[in-house]
Structure 1
Amino acid sequence: MSKPKKLENDISIIDLFDLEWEQRTGCYILHAEELTLIETSASPSIPHLLKGLENENIVPSEIKYIIVTHIHLDHAGGVGLLLKSCPNASVIVHPRGERHLADPTKLILGAKAVYGEKFDALFDPIVAVPKERLISKKDGETLKIGANRTLTFYDTPGHAKHHFSIHDSHSNGMFTGDTLGILYPISITEGEECVLPSTSPNQFDPEAMLASLRKIEQLEVATIYFGHYGKSDNPNAVYQQLRYWLPKYVQVAEEVWEETLNYSFEERVSRITTKLLTLIEAEIGIEPNDQVYKYIAFDVEICAMGIADYLVKTKS
């Protein structure tokens, strides 16, 4: 079912069924004079996105802007394919990501290194974005999409160097991609907002992530719109959870690192994953048969890779 869910402030979200899971990754529609989408997920999600637009009575040719918070394939991998249906749209991306959307060769190689044999099912095809349809936005630059609606772009590294977050003046909300972590589906967390860090390879930087958190916090936004998945109207709780869990993730990984000096990278990642999951199970109170567990377990394995990569760079 790809019927968009209406949120407040003329915003809707389309469930893109990333990994074929409900409420995994979303595309936000900003209903403004210049119709704008934020996030596309990977190419296998584009049929869900197009169906969602159809169910919202939106013709793809009406779309003016497609914004991706960063160029990881679960956020931007489908943008080139989507453009084929959106002849009047431009793609807005962080300056560090622009050339990689125009030529996704390195993106593909990097994702294959992480996902291996799963790559095709998760991401294929990845279509290049024509250079003339790309617009980059630097820190503090703006985009007016309606008489009373301005988007402001903020450089927010930590998850990736090619990541910006977008402030929407109409909602006083911030679209944070993965910078402030992942909000797990409220419908399968017994109504509790569970936020955990997203520390994917290969540009994870915990200090930069905390600096980005502080930058967003100082803006006193009312709502956080996550790439995964949905919104929180309690930003302070989001900040608190990220500040709590991020040091724990790094501490666990560093402890494993010291204990496994003669192990392979893959063995270290496996041990970090196991130890993190054990900690999360104990502190959050989840069990392997809980519906949310598969979401968290998938993410934690990728997070472990990212922290291990960070430790290779900083401990060598």
Structure 2
Amino acid sequence: MEQLPSITDYPAGISVIDAQYHRPGRAAIHLMVENGVAALVDTGTRYSVPGVMAALAHKRIAPEQVAYIFLTHIHLDHAGGASEFMRQLPNAKLIVHPRGASHMANPVKLIAGVMAVYGEAKFRRMYGEIHPIAADRIISAPNGTCIELNGRPLHLLDTPGHARHHYCIHDARSQSIFTGDTFGVSYREFDVNGLEFVFPTTSPVQFDPDAAHASLDRLMALDPKHAFLTHYGRIDNLPHHALHMHALIDAFVAIAQQAPPYPDRHAAIAHALQDLLLQRLMAHGCILPQDAILSLLQIDIELNAQGLGIWLDQITRQPAQTVQS
């Protein structure tokens, strides 16, 4: 039997399951159970599927009991495992943003775009096989959609900023929001005396700072007590974090706008992001060694620098360039 991934259980039938993506504690798949009917929020990659199936078996949840798979957006660390989950969960419907639904039914362009960055060999190592999903099992969910999980209403809100195909889920019963990447990234290794450290994700290719600010405000208007982040798990202290997220979005934008032109731009943005996050983590009280911090942040800094560069190209109408990570 597949070894169980890390599972953290919370009230109201919510569990955080490690997606086993790159390293422990980097990406989560959220499980919600309401009187014997289950849903997953985000899927990790194809390689996340065996561990999650083992977690369901551990919790005595049969594959037939999973009614929905919610994709907060279609970036492959969130959606790469969707086709394999749909194969193994015969009753599940896939809930996806209208801008992403066609890419789940026909993932050719999605796959090609990611392969263009990583190359086919690295793509296969990171994400495995991705297959089309039957259109009659996909529910395109525009803003305001309410999906009932065995009578438990889950409200979907359009939340661009990280991606234009992004929604968040409001679960009034648990006073929680499932935020994908809209509320940023927060690794448990950076928690200090119960206070989390949260920072934005500006990864390619649709970062929009104005939309990111507006989406944060929209989520906070719901007065949530908890947020479940794909990267990683549950955070509290949301008014505090919203203020810091707004400030860091502006700081990230300023770094991009102050960067030198090609060919030095990407390295300058990445270096400035690294310095900023190290400074903020020290102020937060983090006592991890610097090399340990940078090991945890390396991928995020690289992707954020890429995304900020593409955003600059878009607003200045220059040709977009990406750097392979």
TM-score clears 0.5: yes
> In terms of mean alpha carbon deviation, does 164-173 or 111-120 score higher?
111-120
Is the partner of 2:44 in helix, strand or coil? coil
Query: Offset at 1:57?
Result: 1.6
- 1:283 corresponds in structure 2 to 280
Match of residue 221, structure 1, among 217, 221, 224: 224
User: What is the letter of the counterpart of residue 60 of structure 1?
Assistant: P
Query: Offset at 1:243?
Result: 0.9
Is the partner of 2:164 in helix, strand or coil? coil
Distance 1:204 1:217, change over 3 A: same
- 1:176 corresponds in structure 2 to 179
Is the partner of 2:253 in helix, strand or coil? helix
Query: Offset at 1:113?
Result: 3.0
> In terms of mean alpha carbon deviation, does 85-94 or 277-286 score higher?
277-286
Asked if structure 2 preserves the Cα contact closer than 8 Å seen for 1:70 and 1:97, the reply is: yes
User: What is the letter of the counterpart of residue 30 of structure 2?
Assistant: Y
Cα deviation code 1:82-128 (max 9, x no counterpart): 11110111100001100001111111122223334532211111122
User: What is the letter of the counterpart of residue 271 of structure 1?
Assistant: A
> In terms of mean alpha carbon deviation, does 1-10 or 56-65 score higher?
1-10
Instruction: State the distance in 1 between where 2:112 and 2:72 align.
Output: 20
Distance 1:97 1:294, change over 3 A: same
Is the partner of 2:291 in helix, strand or coil? coil
Asked if structure 1 preserves the Cα contact closer than 8 Å seen for 2:41 and 2:70, the reply is: yes
Query: Offset at 1:171?
Result: 0.6
Asked if structure 2 preserves the Cα contact closer than 8 Å seen for 1:155 and 1:163, the reply is: yes
- 1:25 corresponds in structure 2 to 27
- 2:202 corresponds in structure 1 to 199
Query: Offset at 1:4?
Result: 2.4
Structure 1, gaps ≥5 residues long: none
Instruction: State the distance in 1 between where 2:112 and 2:216 align.
Output: 30
Q: Please show how residues 120-139 of structure 1 align to structure 2 within 5 Å.
A: 120-139=124-143
User: What is the letter of the counterpart of residue 23 of structure 1?
Assistant: G
Distance 1:232 1:202, change over 3 A: same
- 1:112 corresponds in structure 2 to 115
Asked if structure 1 preserves the Cα contact closer than 8 Å seen for 2:190 and 2:196, the reply is: no
Asked whether 1:159 is paired with 2:162, we answer yes
Cα deviation code 1:251-304 (max 9, x no counterpart): 111111xx22xx24xx422221122112212231365422x4323121111011
- 1:314 corresponds in structure 2 to 315
Give the number of equivalent residue pairs: 306
Query: Offset at 1:188?
Result: 4.9
- 1:142 corresponds in structure 2 to 146
User: What is the letter of the counterpart of residue 274 of structure 1?
Assistant: H
Q: CA RMSD in A?
A: 1.6
- 2:302 corresponds in structure 1 to 301
Instruction: State the distance in 2 between where 1:77 and 1:100 align.
Output: 11
Instruction: State the distance in 2 between where 1:289 and 1:57 align.
Output: 41
Asked whether 1:94 is paired with 2:94, we answer no
Query: Offset at 1:175?
Result: 0.4
Cα deviation code 1:192-226 (max 9, x no counterpart): 41111011111110000000011111111111110
Match of residue 272, structure 1, among 252, 269, 273: 269
Instruction: State the distance in 2 between where 1:75 and 1:18 align.
Output: 10
Query: Offset at 1:146?
Result: 2.6
Match of residue 255, structure 1, among 251, 254, 258: 258
What percentage of aligned pairs have identical amino acids? 34
Instruction: State the distance in 2 between where 1:106 and 1:306 align.
Output: 19
Instruction: State the distance in 1 between where 2:249 and 2:289 align.
Output: 21
Q: TM-score, normalised by structure 2?
A: 0.90
